Amino acid sequence: MNRIRLLSVSCLLALLAGCSTTSNTPKENPAQTGPPQPSYFKVDPATSGTLYGRIRYMGKKPPRKPVDMSEDPACVAAHHGKAYDESLVVNPNGTLANVFVYVKSGLEGKTFQVPSTPVVIDQRGCWFHPRVLGIQTGQELKVINSDPVTHNIHPMAQINREWNHSQGEGDPPLERKFLKPEVMIRVKCNIHSWMHAFIGVVDNPYFAVTGEDGTFEIKNLPPGNYTIEVWQEKLGVQETKVTIAPSAKVESDFTFKGD
């Protein structure tokens, strides 16, 4: 009888120990297993403002400089024998094209969601199109070659990783990203020495490039005090401070002086 009681007590203790072990084991929370999600800054459309302006050129309009593409007949044919340097493009209305405008400071501490749409640079007519472009850190850059010749894209980054890749006719697009702000990254083609482009990498969506009318517009800016910088590859940089009041539209013009 004692033996039976001893056996029963042993079984009961084993059962209790098993239950205790099971109940003390923490259950895994699936929500805690993944990486922490970033907290993106949300702009209030009811109070956001707009910055706009014009980039003027003061001075004698520089003569157009021809570009010698004779080393590649396909490039000559693409321009019907007439190609001109685009490092300083003065529009008919006295403004400048290809000027990069961006918010240099005033957004510290804010993290912005990366756009899902890639920025495209096309090698077409033995030029980079566009010549000047902006992109957000982490956003995809898609490089395509629309020419019947082989090109080479070589962003000579100083802060980001430098890379260099050839792309032949019909090759699939190249896809790259820049992870750190850098204004500006010079791009060249190691095959065609006249091909140049410039990429402005910023950690916010507030940038623009002037076109044929020399104007820019940066929308959806949260109210605040900002430093705005403008960059032109031949004339250098300028900056100014602006205040964006709630729902305000603020004009800020710049003038570069030529020779």
SS (H, E, C) 155-189: ECCCCCCCCCEEECCCCCCEEEECCCCEEEEEEEC
Residue 196: inside a domain: yes
Q: Is residue 6 part of a domain?
A: no
Q: Are 225 and 255 in a shared domain?
A: yes
Give every CB contact of residue 259 below 8 A, 6+ residues apart in sequence. 59, 60, 62
> Which of 163, 183, 203 is at the close of a domain?
203
3-state secondary structure of 63: coil
β-strand partners of 215: 54
pLDDT at 81: 79
Is 91 a member of any domain? yes
What local confidence, expressed as pLDDT, does residue 11 receive?
A: 47
Owning domain of residue 258: 40-96+215-259
In a domain? residue 244: yes
pLDDT by 10-residue block (mean), the chain, 259 residues: 47 47 50 69 95 96 92 92 93 97 96 96 97 98 96 96 95 97 97 96 98 97 98 97 98 93
Q: How many domains does the chain have?
A: 2
pTM assigned to the model:
0.84
Distance from C-alpha of 47 to C-alpha of 163, rounded to nearest angstrom: 41
HSE of 113, CA atoms in CB hemisphere, 13 A? 9
The domain that holds 131 is classified in CATH as 2.60.40.420
Q: State how far the Cα of 87 lies from the Cα of 97, in Å rounded to an integer.
A: 10
Q: What pLDDT is stored for residue 12 in this prediction? A: 46
| CATH value at residue 82 | 2.60.40.1120
Three-state DSSP state, 24: helix
Residue 119 CB neighbour total at 10 angstroms: 16
Same domain, 88 and 120: no
- Which of 203, 230, 250 is the endpoint of a domain? 203
